[in-house]
Structure 1
């Protein structure tokens, strides 16, 4: 339905049907591979493949071949594959296999013999398809990647978790432990103590030039082991882009001594939660004021609020991951800066981080009075999440805006009593089977 500029009529490219009823693709493949055979040191893997597929809510629409062709050309032009006749680039074709998707194939050697390696093509494709979806008024519009998501488990980790019957990936469990320790600490010494108390194995990395200087860390769970029986360690940067030790040091700012453990009396616990709610409400006003004039301060305040919500989630739900833990994870994604950057702490962020440490140190929340104070703090945090959503939408960081809205809705549901604070006890279940089993393709409706 579409091809490179200069390919000629599309009907001449259509593979012929043989006597056996199959398509003869040799002539089309030879045309696509002509620049490869004539190129200078062509790559061994010279085929680029992508697909454009409608979302389930858009599949009821009837899109003509010409519309599909226009969408494919616009996407490929933005990515850098489709070019005009005055700039002979790559040869490519777009073929429609069904009503809801098309497949695109290109060869990576240009007409002039140079190789186009298509580096970083995935982020450009996501951005291009988002623009196409906006132009053609499609319902599902996946925003461009903003590099704020945490690292996903490797397929090997998923397979190992499935074999051992683990309910969670070790990488995900470690990221939560590290996030909890970060929220409750004010310096790296306190951070490592928190990890040790949580039962996490810690391995420090010393500088090659100054052996007495610690430059990084890695964490592991006591259970999972490698084939040789060694713990499986993950560096902080492999858990999330902002969890490396240099970035944590910048996040904490000037080390402060840990606050004294608060009295476990209910009155002091309620007072701590009320003070935290006051700080959160003032921080939301600061973000409204500083979003344009001092974006660094607003960003530091948002990250400190994520730490406070993390401490509150553990103070209410403990190690049992419920709705509040999931809200804290979504809020952490919404508050994170681009490319793992960390802003210098401000007075407000330091104040909120002090509240986070106090909430973490005062223990589990129980009883009616402190529960009511905790629910009021949740409502203030939900309004703070609304402020973050407005900020991220103004910054065109739509993935983070979606995460902030998810966190705000979850907090309001918990605070309103429409969702249980603590989830039922976790049972060890097998990891879901992947959509493609054993690397084999499923038959098409046969």
Structure 2
């Protein structure tokens, strides 16, 4: 069950939308299924016309707003703060059964109690209503003003507590289990981003930018190099600095992605993925400086990947790895996959899948160590050498051996994550291993077309670009 919370100021406008036809006439039979006072469906607005959307909403809206009116709260933002209307949508997975109105009403109450918004035994709590207009989801509108004191309040840690409540409901009702709010997932594109991308016939900017930022971070050694890497392939980058001049953060945009006013649409690194904030990138650059330079990066990468697998396996057996944090080894392994992602679409898929499995949970501070530093350093060398995959039979063999070693490491990581109850990160690691296995098998059999070309790592379209200068006469594509 996926929950999403937004804040607003006009509960009347929210109720009118939820009880109306929707933006694309997608709402069907909108109805009140639960309320703060237990009257539930008795609050269903009376029909005033021929359609299901012709209803008298006034009594319900006035009842919900009464505590806010008593508190003299406005219906628009006057102080730059979040609105006191708490709007939560809760949706089940596509494969889950259709729940009844009674089940959804109970779910609404469990979510409100679990998030600390309202409990059934708190008669002076806020007023709220749950509305259903589709089979797979409901909406809960809450006015965050207590009825007994008419004082506005803010719930504490409502987002993570809401996620925990949703997981309890999933287990109780046998629904699809969703991930914990552990900060390992990338930020999903919003509805507006998805619709804009569909109109343009391209992927959402957020996905492309996350991939480009990760590749630039692996290739760079500092902030200036990071900016140069992104600008060299056509992205816009701005650095936010402290009064002292020290960099604090950054934001990035596609040059062709503009708002209705013609301004570039920027995304900060932390809004792309939790591990793409500037402090996290700087930590990785500092670690990479401690690694040693290898004469043959492909073979050196395989040795370091095998050592990383040994460290993860030792941690699974309960052995303490001296001077090493396994979380950081796992995260650094993704740098190696990112370094290889530009050489073929198959490896790019594996890299994107493993990214979720490699991120440490929110609040975890991985301890840096020599294995992680070596992985980050060799990843940078792989990007710079552009040797994946090589043109000769010897380097091809080394390339396949490296990818096979990475597959074994990702499977070890999957088992390690599974033992820690991180089912979704384990699944991401397994998916990455399968993608790597397919690439290695095709390449070993000589049947991987994208593995037989020298490719440019800097692609603004999200696909590898052919570096024609690196192709021999017999390799040039025809047509």
TM-score when scaled to structure 2?
0.69
Aligned pairs for 1:43-442 within 5 A: 44=76, 47-59=85-97, 63-97=99-133, 99-112=135-148, 113-117=150-154, 121-138=158-175, 140-152=176-188, 165=200, 167-186=202-221, 191=226, 194-195=229-230, 205-209=240-244, 211=245, 213-217=246-250, 235-253=268-286, 256=289, 262=295, 268=296, 271-272=299-300, 274-289=302-317, 297-314=325-342, 316-317=343-344, 322-339=345-362, 343-364=366-387, 365-366=389-390, 367-417=392-442, 420=448, 422=450
- Residues 1:35 and 2:71 are matched in the alignment: no
Contact map agreement 1:241 1:340 (CA 8 A) in 2: no
Query: Deviation at 1:286?
Result: 4.1
Name the structure 2 match of 1:444: none
1:331–1:340 distance in 2 versus 1, CA, 3 Å: farther
Taking the aligned partners of 2:225 and 2:414, their CA distance within structure 1 comes to 32
Structure 1 range deviating more: 415-424 or 272-281: 415-424
Once the two structures are TM-superposed, the CA of residue 135 in structure 1 deviates from its matched residue by: 0.8
Question: Could you tell me how far 1:407 is from its partner in structure 2?
Answer: 1.5
* Contact in 1 for aligned 2:291/2:376 (Cα 8 Å): no
Tell me the CA shift for residue 238 of structure 1: 4.4
Aligned length: 412
CA shift in 2, pair 1:135/1:226, >3 Å: closer
Q: Distance in 2 between matches of 1:368 and 1:189?
A: 37
C-alpha change, 1:133 and 1:201, in structure 2 (3 Å) is closer
Q: Which runs of 5+ in 2 are unaligned?
A: 1-31, 77-82, 463-479
Q: Secondary structure at the match of 1:345?
A: coil
Contact 2:324 2:371 in 1 (8 A): no
1:288-316 Cα shifts (integer Å, max 9, x gaps):
256888897011101111111111223x3
Cα RMSD (Å) of the superposition?
4.3
Alpha carbons of structure 1 residues 199 and 286: separation in structure 2 relative to 1, 3 Å:
farther
Tell me the CA shift for residue 132 of structure 1: 0.6
CA positional deviation for 1:181: 3.2
Q: CA deviation at 1:74?
A: 1.7
- Give the distance between the partners of 2:72 and 2:385, measured in 1 at CA: 68
CA contact (8 A) 1:290 1:298 kept: no
In structure 2, the residue corresponding to 1:104 is in which secondary structure? strand
- Indicate conservation of the 8 Å contact 1:261/1:361, yes or no: no
Q: CA deviation at 1:12?
A: 4.7
Q: Is the 8 A contact 1:218 1:235 kept in 2?
A: yes
SS of the residue corresponding to residue 416 of structure 1 reads helix
Supply the distance in 1 between the matched residues of 2:319 and 2:123 (Cα, whole angstroms).
43
Structure 1 position 137, deviation (Å)? 1.0
Residues 137 and 95 of structure 1: CA distance in aligned 2, closer, same or farther (over 3 Å): same
Q: CA separation in 1, counterparts of 2:386 and 2:228? A: 17
**TM-score, normalisation: structure 1:** 0.73
Contact 1:250 1:342 in 2 (8 A): no
Q: 1:4 to 1:247 in 2, by over 3 A?
A: same
Give the drift of 1:214: 4.7
CA–CA separation in structure 2 for the residues paired with 1:288 and 1:334 = 16
SS in 2 for 1:94: strand
Structure 1 position 377, deviation (Å): 2.4
Q: What's the offset of the Cα at 1:90?
A: 1.8
| Distance of 1:169 and 1:65 partners within structure 2 | 35
Quote the offset at 1:89 in angstroms.
Answer: 0.6
SS of equivalent residue, structure 2 residue 130: strand
CA spacing shift, 1:158–1:373, aligned 2, 3 Å: same
Q: Is the 8 A contact 1:158 1:169 kept in 2?
A: yes
Q: Which structure 1 segments of 5+ residues have no match? A: 263-267, 430-446
Distance change (3 Å), C-alpha of 1:50 and 1:170: closer
Contact 2:354 2:429 in 1 (8 A): yes
Q: CA 1:98–1:219 in structure 2 vs 1: closer, same or farther (change >3 Å)? A: closer
